[in-house]
Amino acid sequence: MLFRMHPARAVVMAFAVTIVAGATLLALPVAARDGQPTDLVQALFTATSAVCVTGLVVVDTGEHWSGFGQGVVLALIQVGGFGIMALASLLALLIAGKLRLRMTLSAQTETKSQGIGDVRRLLTRVALVTLVVEGVTAAVLILRFFLHYGTPFHEALWDGVFHSISAFNNAGFSLNPDSLERYAADPWITLPIAVAVILGGLGFPVIIELLRHRARRRATGRIGWSLHLKLTLGTTALLLFLGSLLTLLLEWSNGATLGPLHTGEKVLNAFFHSAMSRTAGFNSVDVGSMEQATLLSTCVLMFIGGGSAGTAGGIKVTTFAVLGAAILAEVRGEPTSGIFRRRLAPHVLRQALTVALLGVGLVIGATIALLTLVDHEFEVVLFEAVSAFGTVGLSAGLTGELPALGELIVILLMFVGRLGPITLVSALALRERTQRFQHPEERPIIG
């Protein structure tokens, strides 16, 4: 039945089934350290946050969940990060040896591959990249925990594996109650995690294209990057730099965040916060103690998110870049917009605008709903809503205080934020058709 569904519905159904299965397992007594069943809403919240690779929590991951519960959370993160449709497509390939057209399109809905092509090869490369990045990151963390901090090897092994998978999948789940604040001055912990987060946030098409062009460059000596690759890398680098600079300037003398740190440590943690704001969710300083201006700039970074077809959320950096190009073209009075000497198709602009405006609407609606339920400052509630929509996981301290209805609102926001842009763009592309007539043109006053 799943193979005959509309691709957008298949993606939503697969994620929903996985979340329900995860919540069921987390609600079992064996999943909690105290041996008592976990509240169903809390289990559902945790499962949704894990599958949608968000990182917001209502119970402490390391203290509340048993080894079994933590294993379930980690499995949900890995499955959600890789993509239910990618796993379903790979399974179908292994069983049937080939895919039907609609299932192939379902895989494209999640992977954003540029053609039907060889799905088997694509998914194999995605799996290989995932294992390599997570494996290298885990090895560095394990050695650091074991050799420098004296952590027993079995604990260092679990901590390293858990945080590496959580980092590459941009989930932001940590086994520590203070996330990574205890390692704020340790670049051997924060930098590997930041690199894994950035790689996961770039998106699999970008990583695979970089690897392919590296091999092609060795053979021909030429580089031919696609527009998507240029947009993703350029916008990501720009946002990382601006986010680091703003955090550094705004929090330099804040005694509760960067103030007590040395200059090098301030730069390190400003960069780390900028990288985590791109939908990772780890924090090395207290987010709730940040200045209001920093919270607002972080909201902007969280809303934009990372690259398409990766583990990041948000409206995606390519959407942001396309909208920026359209604004620049309009200011210049140019009839069309383009980037890197490439003209952007009109339907691409419409899709980008649709995704961005729907994202704004979802965040505003959720913020209004949460403001009616909690007695908190507006900026804190807005921060939490944007964090949920962007599947970031950074929290200013509100999530743990939400009532059950507030938790359900955030659950819905995480789910829509993870799947909304993906299913929306794919649905728009599938519905694209030739229009055999045109209405009379008229120009209303704008601005």
Write down the pLDDT at residue 413: 92
How far is Cα 89 from Cα 99, in angstroms, rounded to an integer? 8
Residue 322 lies in a domain: yes
**How many helices (DSSP H) and strands (DSSP E) are in the chain?**
17, 2
42, 226, 332, 355, 380 from 324: Cα distances, Å: 39, 19, 12, 14, 28
Q: pLDDT of 75-98, one tens digit each? A: 999 988 877 556 544 444 444 444
Split at pLDDT 50, 70, 90, the class of 423 is low
Write down the pLDDT at residue 333: 83
Q: pLDDT of 221-273, one tens digit each? A: 555 788 888 888 999 999 999 999 999 999 999 999 999 999 999 999 999 99
Q: pLDDT of 6-53, one tens digit each? A: 556 677 788 889 999 999 999 999 999 999 999 999 999 999 999 998
Residue 94 lies in a domain: yes
Write down the pLDDT at residue 108: 47
60 and 175 Cβ atoms separated by less than 8 Å: no
Token pair of 167 as six digits: 């980092």
Write down the pLDDT at residue 308: 75
Residue 442 lies in a domain: no
Give the CA angle between residues 270, 272, 278 to the nearest 5°. Answer: 110
Percent of the chain predicted with pLDDT > 90:
52
Q: Residue ranges of the alpha helices (H) in 333-403? A: 346-371, 378-389
How far is Cα 193 from Cα 362, in angstroms, rounded to an integer? 30
As for how many domains the chain has, the answer is: 1
Write down the pLDDT at residue 257: 94
Residue 382 lies in a domain: yes
How far is Cα 281 from Cα 386, in angstroms, rounded to an integer? 12
Split at pLDDT 50, 70, 90, the class of 119 is low
Q: pLDDT of 164-198, one tens digit each? A: 999 999 898 999 999 999 999 999 999 999 999 99
Residue 102 lies in a domain: yes
Between these two residues, 414 and 101, which has the higher pLDDT value? Answer: 414
Residue 436 lies in a domain: no
Range ranked top by mean pLDDT from 4-13, 98-107, 130-139, 396-405:
130-139
Give the CA angle between residues 413, 232, 108 to the nearest 5°. Answer: 65
Give the CA angle between residues 193, 194, 197 to the nearest 5°. Answer: 85
How far is Cα 267 from Cα 246, in angstroms, rounded to an integer? 11
Residue 446 lies in a domain: no
Residue 66 lies in a domain: yes
Mean local confidence (pLDDT), 356-379: 92
Rounded (to 5) percent helix, strand, coil in the chain = 70, 0, 30
**Domain span at 235:** 2-429
